[in-house]
Chains A and B, each alone.
Chain A
Amino acid sequence: DAGVIQSPRHEVTEMGQEVTLRCKPISGHDYLFWYRQTMMRGLELLIYFNNNVPIDDSGMPEDRFSAKMPNASFSTLKIQPSEPRDSAVYFCASTEDFTDTQYFGPGTRLTVL
């Protein structure tokens, strides 16, 4: 099993640019989560999907952030326009059942200059 796949692994961009992060969950997993991790705030849940449908997006910081899951094997998290305070590690995770283990991808380390 390939595990959760995220791309890119590192992204450096300038303030105001659009950033798109990608995630491929483990096959058969019905839940997909997007998290952001910073030293100050720890691991924060941004949004999660069940069967490709967004269930809870209350953690999305503001309208600059958007997430989609067009099919069971692909999700994107987009930031437009990006700001320096968006610099963080963004993790995607998936799970078969909500109460089960969440399997995390390796993360995307985003730096906005």
Chain B
Amino acid sequence: RKEVEQDPGPFNVPEGATVAFNCTYSNSASQSFFWYRQDCRKEPKLLMSVYSSGNEDGRFTAQLNRASQYISLLIRDSKLSDSATYLCVAPSGTYKYIFGTGTRLKVLA
């Protein structure tokens, strides 16, 4: 099993739709997680951190499910500008973070 796994997609959704991605991780001791966004031919940028209690930032909600070892990202009221690849990040060991291969989202007009 990979340390961090994501559905590569693409997820094609209409504008205004709600879409959710999951990311599974294998290290049960992991404490901190992140979602990054990467636009085509650009560098990854932090979207949001994932806290144990969940985290909401406008239309974006990130949640952690420790029992099933996955994190999720929910995007409400999708915009065309949300089209990107979303990378989840989980710890591997004490001093190492592993990036997932990303989930591609296309929001359609």
Per-position 1/0 for A83-98, Cβ under 8 A of B: 0000000010000001
**Most chain B CB inside 10 Å of its own CB: which residue of A55, A56, A102:** A102
Any chain B CB within 8 A of the CB of A25? no
**Within the assembled complex, what's the spacing in Å between the Cα atoms of A98 and B96?**
9
**Within the assembled complex, what's the spacing in Å between the Cα atoms of A49 and B12?**
39
- Assuming the contacts A99-B32, A101-B34, asked whether A45 and B43 have C-beta atoms less than 8 A apart, the reply is no
B95 lies within 8 A of A98 (CB): yes
Among B21-29, B54-62, B67-75, B98-106, the stretch in contact with A: B98-106
Any chain A CB within 8 A of the CB of B87? yes
Shortest C-beta distance, A104 to chain B (Å), equals 4
**Within the assembled complex, what's the spacing in Å between the Cα atoms of A101 and B87?**
13
Any chain A CB within 8 A of the CB of B46? yes
Show 19 A/B contacts (Cβ-Cβ < 8 Å), sorted by A: A35-B99, A41-B101, A42-B87, A42-B99, A42-B101, A43-B99, A43-B101, A43-B102, A45-B96, A45-B97, A91-B44, A98-B95, A101-B46, A102-B44, A102-B46, A104-B43, A104-B44, A104-B45, A105-B43
